Amino acid sequence: MEEFLSQLSDTQREAVVNFTGPSLIIAGAGSGKTRVLTYRIAYLLNQGVQPSSILALTFTNKAAKEMKERIAVTVGVAQSKRLRMGTFHSIFAQILRAEADKLGYPSSFTIYDTTDVKSVIKAIVKEKKLDDQIYKPGAVLSRISSAKNNLVTPMAYRSNSGAMSQDAAAKMPMIADIYTAYAQKCYKSGAMDFDDLLLNTNILFRDFPEVLAKYQQLFNFILVDEYQDTNYSQYLIVNKLATHHKNICVVGDDAQSIYSFRGAKIENILNFRNDYPNYKLFKLEQNYRSTQNIVNAANSLIAKNKNQIKKVSYSEKESGDLIKVLRAYTDQEEGLMVAASIHQTILQDQATYQNFAILYRTNAQSRIFEDSLRKKNIPYKVYGGLSFYQRKEIKDLLCYFRLVLNHNDDEAYKRVVNFPARGIGETTMSRVEAAASAKGLSIWEAALNIRSLDSEVKDGAARKLADFAAIIKDLATEIVTSDAYNLALTIATKSGVINDLRMDKSQEGTSKLENLEALLNGIREFVDEMKRAEEPDGEPTLDRFLETVSLLTDADKDKPEDKNKVTIMTIHSAKGLEFKYVYLVGLEDELFPSRMSMNTEQELEEERRLFYVAITRAERRATISYALQRYKWGTPATCRPSRFLKEIDEQFLDMGDSDPDNESNSLLNLSTQNGGFTKNYGGFSNPYQKNVPASPNKITSTEVKTKLPAGATVFNEPIAKQFVECAENDIVEGVQVEHERFGIGKVITAEGDGPNRKVTVFFPAAGQKTLLLKFAKLKIG
């Protein structure tokens, strides 16, 4: 144990061994908060605490898995397996299943994903004959979600004048009605959405004191990572569970609170002091992740936020490289520059692909980087976007599973009733749905009893519905006898799904079939893994598998074959992670900060925290890039560099090299100018040089006035032309030139005479360069 504790600093060790009572650990990025949490758990186990009495809440399932593995090294797998460790959603989904009957839910309740939820909302908007252009599913969902996360039930919502006046202001006065109908529909479908998992846990603990008491006694020690991003609903759950023993340890960083759009409240940290007045505060001030320049740059930026808890964060690592800023003419060029830089770094630093991450503000930015990495044969993985489980054929089969396990699941029913085609048309379905709504039944119940309900469903259609119900009931008889894999295989076969895809001989059909096979293989692995476990925590049932799938977070969707690849993800998903080299791309106003989040100071502060999170993911080098022109809705639009670039203390930035004599900087230094800024910093001969001291006087801030072109000219095709030697003064604005190393380019500005003539050229392959003609041997086209 001593040796184990020696891997911690003195302050970290204090935070580990003082494990009783309430503890608050507030510290900057990379200071070892997660490490302290992990070691504290290992230490608790070492002190004889039962693993099942430790509840640890993490931000992703992957983080929980990694922590468990780390703990297993110290205390053994058997102990670590029995820890209650995972995301809020996955832990409390399990508790809700165990206690479901108290709330009137089946224990096999379905967990609706965002697609299901939006589909329910759409159906309600249609049913109520509301304008679907105003009541857009996303907008309605975010209001309902925010109500739930503040524990506002549909009934309370109606009497909440604040919510009602907000709805009126947003021209959506019917939200309360939709919320009520939505809650009813989910309930009769035996379904909970993500927010319900938290809301219903709160209801369970509020209305069943004996249940709360049971879990209060069970969880002797509660630990929460990323506490700054808990919402009110999560805060209350933790609070209720902890009031009994008060052995609660939360770690967080207010500067990394980035989920306010999901209801996260920084105030939860501040409340901690009031809730547990005799709390111990641990401050971790040393950053063990990043170089000095990275930490200092991040600190200089976040200092611009008015709302923050003051704290120290320093690094004792090497000062490291400055934050390199790449300026591209177009979004496409930005992609190429980043790919070229990754390629070069791999060669120079002997880095591997998994050391790199490209982080952006929104998922839509991924395509350009995917294209450019593919061109360079650099393997990558993208997180977010459409996941495997959202593909049509996969979701169809998953919905069959859901319906077999929970017949009342309306969304699953609607999705598969006529797939494969059974002649049950839309008219029939809308009649069944109307009957179900009128009688407060699920679609399954309404369809079964359709003859006795007042409905216009024809006899023939009613028979088809009965046949469909018979298939599902028949499949349900297999639940008891089959394990998840065999049940899944039987469902895939007997439902006709596999056969339907087999008939489709197109390439698309084949690939869909392969996807189904991959899904079934995944289920088999899930079963094997659970059976192999020394102390299995539960049976490898199909609903268990479905739950794992529904609760995956973006960062969890890692496959083993994805190991050595460049990671492409949003900054939001990168929280808590670290990479040797980080590329933070699309640093343009309205993209980052996002156009949607720059209207108030609060919004801007959150965007700034997001920037802080991004840059502090980097261990060795952070690179920032932006483009001057980006395609928006099919047309090129001019962009301005992000205001955040100007907010970083310039002594930590390497804005590129504008020294015309210094083109020996290698192709790496692709962008050599400083667009949109008043200053241009030269003087760094080699941006990859190690140990560049972070001293301001090292920077020669020579002002170089560069005329920027109004709209950048883009070269998409190589220009097949003969290039000839030329007289210097022939090189004027607009002509095409060729450079030995940079290839073909176009002159943007030219000034001076004879050998002293200086030109700025944009090379599609190498970016923009300012060249002195007496050195650069240019040929003219």
Span near ligand ATP by CB under 6 A; candidates 27-35, 295-303, 439-447, 461-469: 27-35
| Residue 33 assigned to a binding site | yes
What residue type is assigned to position 456 of the chain?
A: E
CB of 701 to ligand ATP, least distance (A): 32
Query: In this chain, which of 154, 190, 576, 745 binds Mg ion, going by CB under 5 A?
Result: 576
CB of 254 to ligand ATP, least distance (A): 11
* 747 DSSP β-pair partners: 761
Report the C-alpha gap between 178 and 190 in whole angstroms: 18
- Stretch of 6-14, 198-206, 274-282, 769-777 contacting ligand ATP, by CB under 6 A: 6-14
Q: What is the DSSP string of 187-222?
A: HHTTEE-HHHHHHHHHHHHHH-HHHHHHHHHH-SEE
Is residue 617 flagged as an active site residue? yes
Q: Note whether 81 and 535 are within 8 A (CB).
A: yes
Q: Is 190 annotated as a binding residue?
A: no
Q: Closer to Mg ion by CB, 33 or 148: give it.
A: 33
Q: What is the DSSP letter of 129?
A: T
Q: Could you tell me the smallest distance in angstroms from the CB atom of residue 731 to Mg ion?
A: 54
Residue 34 or 145: the one with the smaller Cβ distance to ligand ATP is 34
Alpha carbon distance, N-terminus to C-terminus of the chain: 72
Give the count of residues interacting with ligand ATP (CB under 6 A). 18
Helix 161-169 and helix 175-188, axial crossing angle in degrees, nearest 10: 110
Q: Give the span between the Cα atoms of 564 and 566, in whole angstroms.
A: 7
Dihedral sign computed on CA atoms, order 552, 555, 561, 563: negative
Please choose which of Mg ion, ligand ATP, none residue 8 contacts, taking the beta carbon within 5 to 8 angstroms, the exact cut-off set by kind.
Answer: ligand ATP
CB of 35 to ligand ATP, least distance (A): 4
Q: Give me the least distance between CB of 275 and ligand ATP, in Å please.
A: 23
How far is residue 600's CA from residue 576's CA, in Å, rounded to a whole number?
Answer: 27
* 30 known member of a binding site: yes
Active site residue: 12, 110, 201, 256, which one?
256
Q: Is 28 in the site for Mg ion (CB under 5 A)?
A: no
Instruction: Pick the closer one to Mg ion by CB: 30 or 335.
Output: 30
Interface residue with Mg ion among 11, 34, 671, 674 (CB under 5 A) is 34
Q: Which helix (H) or strand (E) holds 340?
A: helix 331-349
State the binding string over 319-358 for ligand ATP (x if CB under 6 A, else -): ----------------------------------------
Provide the b/e sequence for 202-216 (b: ≥16 CB within 10 Å): bbbbeeeeebbeebb
Q: Which stretch binds ligand ATP (CB under 6 A): 31-39, 118-126, 160-168, 557-565?
A: 31-39
Indicate if 426 belongs to the active site: no
- Kindly indicate which of the ranges 206-214, 570-578, 634-642, 650-658 contains the residues binding Mg ion, using the contact rule CB under 5 A: 570-578
Query: 613 by DSSP, 3-state: which?
Result: helix
Residue type at position 623: T
Active site residue 34: yes
Q: Answer yes or no whether residue 671 interacts with ligand ATP by CB under 6 A.
A: no
For residue 59, the SS3 value is coil
Q: What is the DSSP string of 464-495?
A: HHHHHHHHHHHHHTTTTTS-HHHHHHHHHHHT
To the nearest 10 degrees (0 to 180), the angle between helices 137-149 and 175-188 is: 80
**DSSP assignment letter at 706:** -
Distance CA 160, CA 158 (A): 5
Q: How far is the CB of 534 from Mg ion (least distance, A)?
A: 29
Q: Nearest to Mg ion by Cβ — which residue?
A: 34
**Residue ranges in contact with ligand ATP by CB under 6 A:** 8-9, 12, 27, 29-35, 253, 256, 288-289, 576, 578, 616
Residues annotated within the binding site are 27-34
Residues annotated within the binding site for ATP are 27-34
Residues marked active site are found at 33-34, 225-226, 256, 617
**Residue ranges in contact with Mg ion by CB under 5 A:** 33-34, 576
